């Protein structure tokens, strides 16, 4: 059984939170899914924005709360999916393909508010794997405590 490698850091500005996202992005490959949790305003989208920038996304990266998901073009042929499941109370009334439209072996995907979809994420699409679980917490002012848990590969 793989034991996750856990990294903890404290950022003191939105720019540092974006840098943390960029650092994580450097370890991701197509098919990777990153689950990003934290309370409202904790910096989830800020972290994802930093990751997207590092993956070559040049267009604005904003929270897709009301659209559920957004697809971005990254470097080369890479696509980056960004989902926000906050406004969904449950996936039971949603199209069963909702997650499958975004989680593919060709894309890197970030899922904000993932608790709702964790049962479905436990049965991944072939070629799609959980690459990291990120938890972000307010630590006062612009400071954020970030914990990244990544499988060690064993």
Helices (H), the chain: 14-25, 44-54, 118-121
Closest CA to 144 of 4, 27, 18, 54: 18
pLDDT at 88: 65
pLDDT tens by residue, 16-63: 999 999 999 999 999 999 999 999 999 999 999 999 999 999 999 998
Number of domains in the chain: 1
Task: Read off the pTM.
Answer: 0.89
* CATH code of 10's domain: 3.40.50.300
pLDDT tens by residue, 103-153: 899 999 999 988 876 665 655 677 889 899 999 999 999 999 999 999 875
pLDDT at 154: 40
**Contact in structure between 38 and 136 (CB atoms under 8 Å):** yes
Domain of residue 43, residue span = 5-150
């Amino acid at each position: 059984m793989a034991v996750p490698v856990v990294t903890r850091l404290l950022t003191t500005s939105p720019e540092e939170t974006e840098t943390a996202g960029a650092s994580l992005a450097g370890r991701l490959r197509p098919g990777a899914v990153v689950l990003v949790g934290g309370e409202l305003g904790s910096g989830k989208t800020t972290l994802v924005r930093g990751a997207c920038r590092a993956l070559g996304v040049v267009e604005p990266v904003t929270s897709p709360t009301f659209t559920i998901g957004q697809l971005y073009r990254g470097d080369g042929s890479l696509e980056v999916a960004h989902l926000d499941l906050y406004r969904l109370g449950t996936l039971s009334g949603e199209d069963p393909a909702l997650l499958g439209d975004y989680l593919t072996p060709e894309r890197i995907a970030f899922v904000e508010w993932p608790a709702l979809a964790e049962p479905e994420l436990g049965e991944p699409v072939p070629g799609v794997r959980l690459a990291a679980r990120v938890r972000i917490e307010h630590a006062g002012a612009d400071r954020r405590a970030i914990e990244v848990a990544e499988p060690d590969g064993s």
